[in-house]
Amino acid sequence: MNDDIAKVLIDEEVILRRLDTVADKVLADFEGNEILVVGILTGALVFMADLCRRLPVPLQIETLSVASYHGGTESSGVVEFLDAKLPEVKGRKILLIDDILDTGRTLKAVKDKLMTMGATSVKTGVLLSKEKERAEEVEADYVAFEIGDEFVVGYGLDYQGRYRNLPFVGVLKEEVYSR
Ligand code: XMP
């Protein structure tokens, strides 16, 4: 699997160290309030798990599934909610977690949905934020790393369902896309 990687952008140690800082910010912002962490599947899974373990306060974890990418590297432009039943969020202070902020469509759509469903507040956290113009006006409250506008995998992020289990964030070799 590592043979498919052209370069490592952010290694495991750097990611985990940075999460300590992100967690401190979250703890300060949510001080005294129970946190409802909502992770967007499947990409947020690894980031959410590592971040939550750095939040030693009462919290609950929920997930929801959306589709905007369909196995490739380009956004389809439409965010579709896939769950028959979404988490109960009325009156809750939410920390919404996603793997990466790209066009902004996913984070904007999910944040808006949670607010419409009666959440008291929605703070957003992403592992990665691509430096580019967004299709939607949205930025995350917590960004672990800013990256350039290139397709990345690892630490939860996939290409055609693979590479999520890599402990680092990296870029695939060109040849992988033509297989
Ligand atoms: P948007 O465009 O809605 O994108 O901000 C958010 C979702 O798109 C996926 N995405 C990526 N997945 N490498 C990936 O593996 C990438 O470089 C990438 N860029 C966007 C991801 O699912 C994210 O939640």
Q: Could you read off the pLDDT of 132-148 as tens digits, one per residue?
A: 998 888 899 999 999 99
pLDDT of residue 77: 74
How far apart (Å, rounded) are the C-alpha atoms in residues 51 and 73?
Answer: 26
Ligand 1: nearest atom to the Cα of 103? 2
Task: Report all structural domains of the chain as residue ranges with CATH numbers, in order of start.
Answer: 2-177 (3.40.50.2020)
Task: Please give the share of the chain, as a percent, with pLDDT higher than 70.
Answer: 96
β-strands 35-41, 59-67 pairing = parallel
How far apart (Å, rounded) are the C-alpha atoms in residues 67 and 138?
Answer: 18
Average pLDDT, the chain: 94
pTM tops 0.90, yes or no: yes
Ligand 1 mean position to 9 CA, how many Å? 16
From 24, 102, 141, 158, the catalytic residue: 102
Report the complex ipTM. 0.95
